[in-house]
A and B are shown apart, each in its own frame.
Chain A
Amino acid sequence: MNFEEHAAKPLLARHGIAVPKGGLARTPVEAAAVAEGIGAVVVKAQVPTGKRGKAGGIKLAATPDEARTHARAIIGMEIAGHKVEKVLVEEQMPIERELYAAVVNDPSSKGPLVMFSTEGGMDIEEVAATAPDKLRLQPVDTRRGFSHTDAETLVQGLALGADEGKVADALARLYEAYAAFDAELLEINPLIVTGDGRVVALDCKFVMDDCAIVRQPKVAPAGTPETLTGLEARAKAAGLKYIDLDGAVGVLANGAGLTMTTMDMIRHHGGRPANFLEIGGEAYTQAKPALELLLANPRIKSLVINFCGAFARTDVMTRGVIEAIEALKPGLPIFFSVHGTGDEEAIRVLKDRLGVTPLATMDDACKAAVEAAKISRR
Chain B
Amino acid sequence: MIVRGTDRVLVMGITGKQGTFWTGRMQAYGTRVVGGTHPNKAGTMHCGVPVFATARDAMKGAGFDVAVLFLPPLMVKEAAVDAIEAGAKRLVVLTEHIPVQDVMYFVAAARERGACILGPNTAGAVTPGECFAGFMPAFNERIFRKGSIGVISRSGSLGVLFCLNVVQAGYGESAFVGIGGDPIIGTTTREALVALDTFPGTEAVVMVGEIGGSMEEEAADYARTMAKPVVAFIAGGAAPEGRKMGHAGAIVMGDKGSYASKRSALEAAGVTVLDTPSDVGAALRARLGH
Contacts and interface: CB of A to CB of B under 8 A. Distances in A.
Contact of A110 (B104, B244, B278): B104
Contacts of A276: 239, 245-246
12 contacts: A105-B100, A142-B105, A142-B108, A182-B101, A209-B99, A211-B98, A261-B158, A264-B238, A308-B158, A310-B136, A311-B94, A311-B156
B97 interface: yes
Classify chain B: how many residues form its interface, as a range: 35 or more
Contact of A255 (B184, B240, B243, B246): B246
A260 interface: yes
Contacts of B276: 264-265, 268, 363
Contacts of A362: 161, 277-278
Interface string A192-204: 0000000000000
A132 interface: no
A214 B99 CA distance: 9
Contacts of B154: 257
Nearest to B103: A110
Q: Which of A107, A141, A143 has the most B CB atoms < 10 Å from its CB?
A: A107
Contacts of B250: 256-257, 260
Given A310-B136, A340-B164, 4 more contacts: A257-B247, A258-B157, A310-B137, A363-B278
Interface residues of chain B: helix, strand, loop or mixed (majority): loop
Classify chain A: how many residues form its interface, as a range: 35 or more
Given A245-B240, A257-B235, A259-B245, A211 B155 contact: no
A143 B154 CA distance: 27
Interface of B: 18, 73-74, 94, 96-101, 104-105, 107-109, 111, 123, 135-137, 140, 142-143, 153-161, 164, 181, 183-186, 188, 208, 210-211, 213-215, 218, 233, 235-240, 243-250, 275-278
Interface of A: 105-108, 110-112, 141-143, 179, 182, 184, 209-212, 214-215, 241, 243, 245, 253-261, 263-268, 273, 276, 278, 280-281, 308-312, 339-341, 343, 361-363
B99 A308 contact: no
Contacts of B140: 340-341, 343
A91 to B, nearest CB: 32
B158 A255 contact: yes
Given A105-B184, A211-B98, A211-B99, A143 B108 contact: yes
B246 A105 contact: no
Nearest to B275: A268
B282 to A, nearest CB: 13
